[in-house]
Structure 1
């Protein structure tokens, strides 16, 4: 059995402050209480408070200056490729505008990754894509959301590796968290309803296998636009039309 390590006091405090910031309880440009006040409020040591503030500062969520109180930074300064920031965003509830922006970012990036994969994929890469697709298919047929998500993430990471671009590969760890968050936002509650998405991934895989570069790019774009259409109540195609 795998043992899980309980979070430290500083980690628990970091999490609590992060969620309060994301909920707006601690709003943009607001100064946080001083270290002594936070230590008393949370019944923890000043060292734990200082570590928590530094952790949030490193993620761009707080501005920290010597001998001055920490200030909540504007959201555009946060590091959204940080896995913890993305996890906290999921916990706090991701508003539709953020989902829209996440899909825009994926549209800029992933269709061209698919095109590169169609050019550069090896037999090993194709096998990895096929294995990931089979995980998705198994999750869909057995209505196992976790299995489908795992296969979906594996598929898109296999595409990144199939690009054989070292700069893109160096982004894979950060991007995997963003993609995982995106899947959670756009996947149907009943995974058995993902048959169309599964078919789209199969068509994309086939285009890569046949080295059809433009087709692979277009199929990936269609996958992302379909996800946006499913998730966004106020879906506006014109927001995405200018992204090639």
Structure 2
């Protein structure tokens, strides 16, 4: 069975991406030319070119006419791209990136909780409750996949309950980043997440009772309590204005 052009291109894309994310290829490094890469990967120039364009679209490379592709600095990477996040997860994200994920959530989710408290319908509340039940079952049964599925479903349902198309679009882009954030601040055993499950229950009740200020506090506490256990002992002073 022959390997498809897409599969070859995807293999090259992933291999080069992992080298960039691991730092084997650093900011400003120039990649070999298309012909050299084609020989290196035993592939066609078309497959190589496709791979380079994918990496360029994701911000990892810059491509200029008649020049070799150049590795971009990390701040130009598309951090909300699901592939980029997946590759970063495989390598292991650095503490500073994990911190910036938490900061992003602090800026976004507490205020989304306020809007959810104002706009959530009975259907929205049911979706959040179903997600919370899934989280709780995952915690009780020590099933990581179940807990993570419920956790992400809860936050997704909360964003939907805002009934704001712009927030929903942002939320869709952030969902993969949120999952990575959850994994970075998750306990070693899901059985130890009982407090997190209770925090989500309190948030759900605040939204159900239309208590916007309380919902904001609950969401902030969910994010900060996880960060305080895994990233810092107290919130750094430079972020205090966020809460």
Aligned ranges 1:147-158 → 2 under 5 Å: 147-158=146-157
> For 1:173 and 1:236, how far apart are their aligned partners in 2?
27
Pairing of 1:1-244 with structure 2 (within 5 A): 8-232=7-231, 236-244=235-243
Structure 1: which 5+ runs fail to align? none
SS of alignment partner, residue 242 of structure 1: helix
Normalization by structure 2: what TM-score? Answer: 0.95
1:12-58 Cα deviation digits (max 9, x unpaired): 11011001001100000111111111111111111111000000000
Shift of 1:184: 1.2
Alpha carbons 2:5, 2:47 under 8 Å: kept: no
CA deviation string 1:65-118 (max 9, x = no partner): 111100011111111111001001101111111100000001000000101000
79-88 vs 171-180, which moves further: 171-180
Deviation digits for residues 195-233 of structure 1 (CA, Å, limit 9, x no counterpart): 010110001001000000011011101110111112215
Aligned CA distance change for structure 1 residues 172 and 6 (closer, same or farther; 3 Å): farther
Normalising by structure 1, what TM-score?
A: 0.95
CA contact (8 A) 2:38 2:44 kept: yes
* Alpha-carbon distance in structure 2 between the residues aligned to 1:102 and 1:194: 20
The structure-2 alpha-carbon separation of the partners of 1:243 and 1:133, relative to structure 1 and needing over 3 Å to count, comes to same
**Structure 2: which 5+ runs fail to align?**
none
Quote the offset at 1:240 in angstroms: 2.8
SS state at 1:52 partner: helix
- Structure 1 SS opposite 2:242: coil
Q: Kindly tell me: are residues 126 and 199 of structure 1, through their superposed partners in 2, closer, same or farther at Cα, counting changes over 3 Å?
A: same
Query: In the alignment, is the contact (CA less than 8 A) between 2:6 and 2:47 conserved in 1?
Result: no
Residues 112 and 162 in structure 2, CA contact (< 8 A), matched pair in contact too: yes
Distance 1:167 1:188 in 2: 32
* Aligned-residue RMSD, C-alpha: 1.6
